Amino acid sequence: MSHLKRLLLQGLSVLSCIWFFSNLMVWLTGLVFITPLKLIPLPRLQTQVITPLAHGFYRAAVRINSFWMQRVVGIEITLEGSINRHPNPIVVCNHQSWFDIPLVQEVIAGQGPIVQFLIKRELVWVPIIGWICLVLNFPRLNRSGAASDRALDLAAIESAAQNLGRAPGALLVFAEGSRFSTEKSKLQNSPYPHLLKPKLGGFSTMLKYARPDTPVLDLTISYAAGQAQFWRCLHGGTPRIRIRVEEFLAADITDPEAWLNKRWQAKSAWLTQNIQANEP
């Protein structure tokens, strides 16, 4: 690759960053203005005006960023499987990159409910992204490993699960608890070549409080040749991304640990097949 081409690609990554964050900043401004209106004790106003308006801002941001990813950067996103639209699904997904988040939002929120996900408490201090999570009241976790913090984290997840159904919104869990890396995989001695071991706590708590007819959407994201680096994706260095969706019912998942392990085995096999097929 020539020096000029490398320079142009880096420039496109910078431009993509500016586009993403400028777009989010515009819609964050709207969210900030309507946030005080959530304090008005009129349920009908909240359900018919305030919540749909906030969710409309969210979906507009998702669509504009998706347009940039696919039409300008030129990333080809292939979806395998279909999603029956439901206002409150639980979404389980593997986690490799910051780029996973706009992809999940495109798949779920593009035509359906907004996506709420579990975030580290420190993330609220990150400009724009953290502020959006704060305004939309995403569940915030400590994830320090201390027993007291684990109890607080489970309480936050429990509260989010109990609120599922009060307003349209999907609840996303990255069951691995962290982005995949070869180093983390070795430390865990993970049996899955492209995945960390799934953690049971958050997912099990969600299922405990979910309605029996709640869909559980299992998403698996595969980046071409396993190249999931955020900066690389911003300039189209990973030109093809495949996303597989499989749907289950909460009522049918009687053993969450066994279900997660079975799904991770299926994910691992599918990821290995896709990565090998796309190796240069």
pLDDT over 70 percentage in the chain: 96
Tell me, yes or no, whether 136 lies in a domain. yes
Tell me, yes or no, whether 7 lies in a domain. no
What integer is the mean pLDDT of 195-206? Answer: 90
Arithmetic mean of pLDDT over the chain: 88
User: Vertex 14, ends 69 and 63: CA angle to 5°?
Assistant: 25
pLDDT of residue 42: 86
Tell me the CA distances in angstroms from 93 to 56, 105, 260, one per residue in order: 24, 12, 11
Count the alpha carbons within 13 Å of 161 in the hemisphere toward its beta carbon: 24
Q: What pairs with residue 266 in β-bridges?
A: none
pLDDT of residue 148: 64
SS3 81: coil
Where residue 279 falls among pLDDT bands split at 50, 70, 90?
A: low
Where residue 143 falls among pLDDT bands split at 50, 70, 90?
A: low
pLDDT of residue 182: 92
SS3 66: helix
69-112 pLDDT, tens digit each: 999 999 999 999 988 888 899 999 999 999 999 999 999 987 78
To which residue do tokens 């997660």 refer?
260
Task: Please tell me what DSSP assigns to residue 196.
Answer: P
Cα 105 versus chain centre, distance: 6
Tell me, yes or no, whether 182 lies in a domain. yes
146-161 pLDDT, tens digit each: 666 677 777 777 877 7
- How would you class 202 by CB atoms within 10 Å of its CB: exposed for 0-12, middle for 13-18, buried for 19 or more? buried
DSSP codes, 245-263: EEEEEGGG-S-HHHHHHHH
Tell me, yes or no, whether 30 lies in a domain. no
Tell me, yes or no, whether 207 lies in a domain. yes
**pLDDT at residue 271 greater than cutoff 70:** yes
Tell me the CA distances in angstroms from 60 to 28, 30, 82, 106, 221, one per residue in order: 11, 11, 22, 11, 23
pLDDT of residue 108: 93
31-76 pLDDT, tens digit each: 888 888 888 888 888 888 888 898 899 999 999 999 999 999 999 9
Length of the chain: 280
- How would you class 137 by CB atoms within 10 Å of its CB: exposed for 0-12, middle for 13-18, buried for 19 or more? middle
Domain that residue 213 falls in = 75-277
Tell me, yes or no, whether 3 lies in a domain. no
Tell me, yes or no, whether 237 lies in a domain. yes
**pLDDT at residue 280 greater than cutoff 60:** no
Tell me, yes or no, whether 190 lies in a domain. yes
Q: Total domain count for the chain?
A: 1
| One-letter identity of residue 50 | I
Query: How far is residue 234's CA from residue 9's CA, in Å, rounded to a whole number?
Result: 9
